[in-house]
Amino acid sequence: MDMVALNASDRIEDDLHLRSCIQCGDCSGVCPLGFLMDFPPSKIIAEIRSETYARVIRTDSAWMCIACSACTTVCPMQIPVTINVMSCTKEELVLAGNVPPELQAALENSQRYGNPGGESPRKRADWIKGIEQAIPVFGEDKRTADMLWFVGDYASFHPRVQPIQPFGYRGHQSTSKWGYCQ
């Protein structure tokens, strides 16, 4: 077994006391994507316990985990599978360079442009253009506000979501002074 996998499995096992796992398989059975995974949660735990965790690192099974915590909820031994096992496995996959291309692109774009879509930060407030009622933008407008309307990356840049942003803003502005943060 390689050293990275050995250190990761030792760390996960120390954190979780995985020896208490009774291998009932409930975690894998309740997992909405477990049937697609080469290593669903119960198999990952089994690999850690049998010291063959390096096999998990060579697959992309952990990336299918949507962190719904169903596995943690049904575990009769109350092992925090989602928080510790799956998160640590994803961390080890990143360190081993086993990252899906879509995620790699999103991470690089976030580092370079400040958003996963790779859009220019200057375009962030473009969704405001064409709205009949002026929306104050912090940094451009010196007025103060009681409430801050923060529109995330996806809503700021995706053309299907941009048209609905003003409706949310209008729905909340009646009782307080609002501003938009870009």
pLDDT of residue 160: 77
Q: How far is residue 117's CA from residue 181's CA, in Å, rounded to a whole number? A: 18
Q: How far is residue 153's CA from residue 23's CA, in Å, rounded to a whole number? A: 41
- CA 104, chain centre distance (Å): 13
Domain ranges, residue 171: 121-181
Q: What is the mean pLDDT of the chain?
A: 79
Structure tokens belonging to residue 34: 């477990």
What confidence tier does 41 reach under pLDDT thresholds 50, 70, 90?
very high
Where a domain ends, among 33, 64, 99? 99
pLDDT of residue 70: 95
**17-21, 41-45, 47-51, 73-77: least confident range:** 17-21
Q: What is the CATH number of the domain that holds 14?
A: 1.10.1060.10
pLDDT of residue 6: 52
Q: What is the mean pLDDT of residues 53-75?
A: 92
pLDDT of residue 9: 57
pLDDT of residue 159: 75
Exposure string for 66-88, b = 16+ CB within 10 A, e = fewer = eeeebbbeebeeebebbebbbbb
Residue 169 has pLDDT above 70, yes or no: no
Residue 173 has pLDDT above 90, yes or no: no
What confidence tier does 1 reach under pLDDT thresholds 50, 70, 90?
very low
Structure tokens belonging to residue 88: 């640590």
Q: How many domains does the chain have?
A: 2
Domain contains 29 = yes
Maximum average pLDDT range among 9-13, 56-60, 71-75, 112-116: 71-75
Domain contains 112 = no
Domain contains 106 = no
pLDDT of residue 122: 83
Each residue's pLDDT tens digit, 68-94: 999 999 999 988 888 888 988 999 998
Please check whether residues 17 and 93 belong to one and the same domain: yes
**Residue 144 vs residue 67, higher pLDDT:** 67
Please check whether residues 85 and 125 belong to one and the same domain: no
Maximum average pLDDT range among 64-68, 95-99, 120-124: 64-68
Residue 14's SS3 state is helix
Domain contains 125 = yes
**Does this model's pTM top 0.75?**
no
